[in-house]
Structure 1
Amino acid sequence: MVAVINTGHSIRGIFMYNENKVSQGAAVCIGEGNYPIDIEKMSESFKLSVFLRQLQLNENVKRSAVHISLNFDRSDKDLSKEKLMEIASSYMEKIGFGAQPYLVYQHHDAGHPHLHIASINVRADGSGINMHNIGRNQSETARKELEISFNLVRADSRKKQSPALINAIDAEKIKYGAIDSKRAIGSVLNAVIPHYKYTTLGELNAVLNLYNVRAERGKENSKMFQNKGLIYQILDDNKKTVGVPIKASSFYSKPTLSRLEINFAAAKTARAIFMKRTRNAVDLLLLKYPSITLSQLETRLAKQGITAVVRKNEQGLIYGMTYIDHNTRCVFNGSSLGPEYAAKGLLQRLGHSSHSEKQYNTVPDGTAHKQDPFISAAEVQRIIDDVLYAGTPSDSVPKQLKKKRKKRKRKGQSDNN
């Protein structure tokens, strides 16, 4: 089980998000906590009024709205309505929200079972609940206890089995027409945008394309581009857009360009420490398998949790490379790792031409032989040093390079003393 806690300024927004899901047939309100009457007898306005009345007791709490999602593994069995309510109630009790009013919604808009819980952090006596580190402390403890008591698939064990494929919220590759487009795209955006580190829209699209989604700004001379607008579209299996584009601002998480640009800036620093890992993965495979082809390199990188995205033009010529490290959630355009990891440099290292999958040298007898890639001794030593000493700066300085320290003169002491 994976638990995610978010706080906000508007309980009305969180409440309406879930109620709209109910009206669309994508969710069901399966229960409540600390409401005066049963859920079946409550109107929409009454549900909201309980939250609003209690919030009036302390208007100094700015981020008073609490939105929790409890995400279960696809293989979890017997998740009946009654069991889900029992899990939700136990979780709220363990994180200190047992006496708070809350509503529990079962959503059906993703590839895995999950609940959304709407609540507030103002108590009935007007005091506020401290939310600092609640996710890391109380929630993590509650999650582990509930996994045992309800025999749920453990999030920790899933990470050990396949760290490259675990997301806080699972996403599936979209098939147009299978489910509501907005719901399908939203599920992918929630799984990708908050969790991966990317510095450009192109790098973000490299991940989104894995799920048949693309973010588009439009043509440079279009109004949408000039106004910094952004839309999301579904792609078919040939990566062609299908269906109606959906504005970024219409999604609950508001993945607009201005918000993405904040992520771009933050990722430039956050991903820097993980660059060497991706470089080393490529370098070591080239060292271990001197005759490796590009497709074989892609396969072996995938086994290490790194997706190598090869970009080709309409003629099938390779013009770009992007590396997605699902272990560290970092996305790197090839050139950002260095010229030898960009398309041209990598293909040259593989012994290929800069634009095709294979390069052959014609020999006098008319047969074609693949050119053997060559890695110099210096390159081998660099790779080994990177692996052995990555992130371990040396404090030692050769004696010959150390500057002699000048002795400080004492007062009244001349140079001749």
Structure 2
Amino acid sequence: MVAIIKTGRSIHNIFNYNENKVKAGVAKCIGEGNYPADADKMNIAMKLNRLLKQASLNDNVKRNSVHISLNFDPSESDLPKEKLMEIADTYMEKIGFGEQPYLVYQHHDAGHPHIHLVSIKIREDGSRIDMQNIGRNQSEKARKEIEQDFKLVKAEGRKKNEQYQLQPISMGKIRYGRLESKKAITSVLDGILPNYNYTSLPELNAVLKLYNVLADRGSEDSRIFKGNGLVYSILNEEGKPIGVPIKASDFYNRPTLKFLENKFTENQSGRIPHKVRVRNAVDMALLGNKVLSLKELITALDKEGINTILRENSEGLIYGITYVDHKTKCVFNGSALGKQYSAKAIQERCDAGAVKKESHPPEEKKANRQEQQEAKIYTEKNNFPSRSMSGFMEITEVLMQPEQAAEYVSGLLKGKKKKKKRKGFSDKS
């Protein structure tokens, strides 16, 4: 079982999200906790007002709504309603929400069985429930205990490509219009926004584009940009937006620019300890005996779980690079890792390797001429210090030559050879 906890500023948004699923026929309200009547005996207004009334006891709490999803293994699709409610009640009790009003919805719009719980973080006496690290502490402990008590499939040990791993969107599944597009984008945002450490919109988009989604502010003279707005779009196979963009405020969790800017600040410290992993992966890939091209470097990093996204201008010149580490869930612009990992430096490191290949046997020279020509063009475009390409190659070749220690030893390092005296002879004879 996998538990995902989110808080929000709008009870209406979270409540309507689930009720709209019910109206669409892909969800059902299967139960409640601490309500005066059973869920099937209440109308929409009664369900919502119970939450709003208790939340109004403390207006100082801005993020007062709580939205939790409990996700089960696909093999557990036949869990009966009664068992799901028992799991929901037990989970809420264990994380400290046993006395809170909550609603339980069973959703049928994903490839795995799951339920959603809607609640509030204001107690009956008006005090606020502290949810700091609740996911790592109370929720994680509750999850493991519930897996054991209810004999559920354990979350640990699942393969990376199983159902909870976010997969790229299939464009065929979302071509039917705005409702399907919004659903698809929501699934991606739910998987990316709370779980990855990104510190800018370009870094976030480096991850979103892997799943055919783009967060866009528009051009600088557009009304969206001037109003600090944000829209989300689906991308086609060429990476171009397709369909009608959807405003950030239209999503139930409101992933607006202001929301993202807060995340940018929060994520700054969280990714610092993980910089070294990406640096080491790049350095190790370029350290081997085999010289790597930029394309080969990208492939090598991909095997380490690191996607490398290149940014090119209209002329095809690479001006930026971003690393997405799926193992640590951290995103780094190249320059954030250090000067040696920027787009220009990475190209230089790969180009220098191409020059080194000239010392190889003649049969390899022909294959390397194209790389050398590209290195020359790149050098001219980037205004390197004035020097001939051949001179640059000669210097590099000299620097890269192995030491011939077996053939030559400096006289300064040689010790004086002591002559062996022969018996009966004088040194002066």
TM-score (norm 1): 0.75
Deviations 1:106-146 (A, max 9, x none): 23455543321112345567776554554333322210011
Q: Does 1:98 align with 2:93?
A: no
Distance (whole Å) between structure 2 residues aligned to residue 156 and residue 295 of structure 1: 34
The alpha-carbon distance between structure 1 residues 361 and 67, as it changes in their structure 2 partners (threshold 3 A), is same
Deviations 1:187-210 (A, max 9, x none): 111211222222322111110001
Residue equivalent to 2:167: 172
Residue equivalent to 1:274: 274
Residue equivalent to 2:40: 40
Distance (whole Å) between structure 2 residues aligned to residue 291 and residue 233 of structure 1: 39
Residue equivalent to 1:383: none
Q: Secondary structure at the match of 2:335?
A: helix
Deviations 1:156-181 (A, max 9, x none): 334xx54xx799x7533223351411
Residue equivalent to 2:366: 368
The alpha-carbon distance between structure 1 residues 47 and 194, as it changes in their structure 2 partners (threshold 3 A), is same
| Percent pairwise identity | 53
Maintained 8 Å contact 2:14/2:253: no
Which residue identity lines up with residue 143 of structure 2 in the other structure? Answer: R
The alpha-carbon distance between structure 1 residues 96 and 25, as it changes in their structure 2 partners (threshold 3 A), is same
Structure with the higher fraction of residues in helix conformation: 2
Deviations 1:12-68 (A, max 9, x none): 443223212322334321222343433222211122233345556x44773553322
**Unmatched segments (≥5 aa) in structure 2:** 175-179, 373-392, 401-429
The alpha-carbon distance between structure 1 residues 214 and 123, as it changes in their structure 2 partners (threshold 3 A), is closer
Maintained 8 Å contact 2:185/2:213: yes
Distance (whole Å) between structure 1 residues aligned to residue 289 and residue 365 of structure 2: 24
Which residue identity lines up with residue 167 of structure 2 in the other structure? Answer: E
Distance (whole Å) between structure 2 residues aligned to residue 64 and residue 194 of structure 1: 18
User: How many residues are paired up?
Assistant: 369
The alpha-carbon distance between structure 1 residues 341 and 191, as it changes in their structure 2 partners (threshold 3 A), is same
Deviations 1:358-412 (A, max 9, x none): 999799999614279989999xxxxxxxxxxxxxxxxxxxxxxxxxxxxxxxxxx
Distance (whole Å) between structure 2 residues aligned to residue 375 and residue 103 of structure 1: 71
The alpha-carbon distance between structure 1 residues 82 and 365, as it changes in their structure 2 partners (threshold 3 A), is closer
Residue equivalent to 1:212: 212
Distance (whole Å) between structure 2 residues aligned to residue 64 and residue 265 of structure 1: 21
The Cα RMSD (Å) is 3.7
The alpha-carbon distance between structure 1 residues 268 and 100, as it changes in their structure 2 partners (threshold 3 A), is closer
Distance (whole Å) between structure 1 residues aligned to residue 320 and residue 132 of structure 2: 43
Deviations 1:271-309 (A, max 9, x none): 333222211111011113532333332232222221112
The alpha-carbon distance between structure 1 residues 342 and 111, as it changes in their structure 2 partners (threshold 3 A), is farther
Distance (whole Å) between structure 2 residues aligned to residue 73 and residue 256 of structure 1: 32
The alpha-carbon distance between structure 1 residues 125 and 254, as it changes in their structure 2 partners (threshold 3 A), is closer
Maintained 8 Å contact 1:102/1:120: yes
Maintained 8 Å contact 1:109/1:183: no
Moved more, 233-242 or 95-104: 95-104
Maintained 8 Å contact 1:110/1:184: no
The alpha-carbon distance between structure 1 residues 314 and 39, as it changes in their structure 2 partners (threshold 3 A), is same
Residue equivalent to 1:49: 49
Maintained 8 Å contact 1:112/1:170: no
Distance (whole Å) between structure 2 residues aligned to residue 64 and residue 262 of structure 1: 17
Moved more, 73-82 or 97-106: 73-82
Distance (whole Å) between structure 2 residues aligned to residue 312 and residue 91 of structure 1: 48
Residue equivalent to 1:31: 31
- The Cα shift of 1:234 comes to 0.2
Matches within 5 A, 1:14-163: 14-54=14-54, 58-59=57-58, 62=61, 64-74=64-74, 76-121=76-121, 131=131, 133-158=133-158, 162=160
- The Cα shift of 1:246 comes to 0.5
Distance (whole Å) between structure 1 residues aligned to residue 256 and residue 9 of structure 2: 19
Q: Secondary structure at the match of 2:207?
A: helix
Residue equivalent to 2:383: none
The alpha-carbon distance between structure 1 residues 220 and 291, as it changes in their structure 2 partners (threshold 3 A), is same
Moved more, 120-129 or 327-336: 120-129
- The Cα shift of 1:314 comes to 5.8
Which residue identity lines up with residue 309 of structure 2 in the other structure? Answer: V
Which residue identity lines up with residue 283 of structure 2 in the other structure? Answer: D
Larger Rg: 2
Distance (whole Å) between structure 2 residues aligned to residue 375 and residue 15 of structure 1: 67
TM-score (norm 2): 0.73
Q: Secondary structure at the match of 1:157?
A: coil
Deviations 1:91-114 (A, max 9, x none): 123234334432111234555433
Maintained 8 Å contact 2:13/2:252: no
Moved more, 5-14 or 124-133: 124-133
Residue equivalent to 2:226: 226
Matches within 5 A, 1:311-350: 311-312=311-312, 318-350=318-350
**Unmatched segments (≥5 aa) in structure 1:** 379-417
Moved more, 222-231 or 342-351: 342-351
- The Cα shift of 1:334 comes to 2.0
The alpha-carbon distance between structure 1 residues 325 and 289, as it changes in their structure 2 partners (threshold 3 A), is farther
- The Cα shift of 1:184 comes to 0.9
The alpha-carbon distance between structure 1 residues 316 and 140, as it changes in their structure 2 partners (threshold 3 A), is same
Q: Secondary structure at the match of 1:45?
A: helix
Q: Secondary structure at the match of 1:178?
A: helix
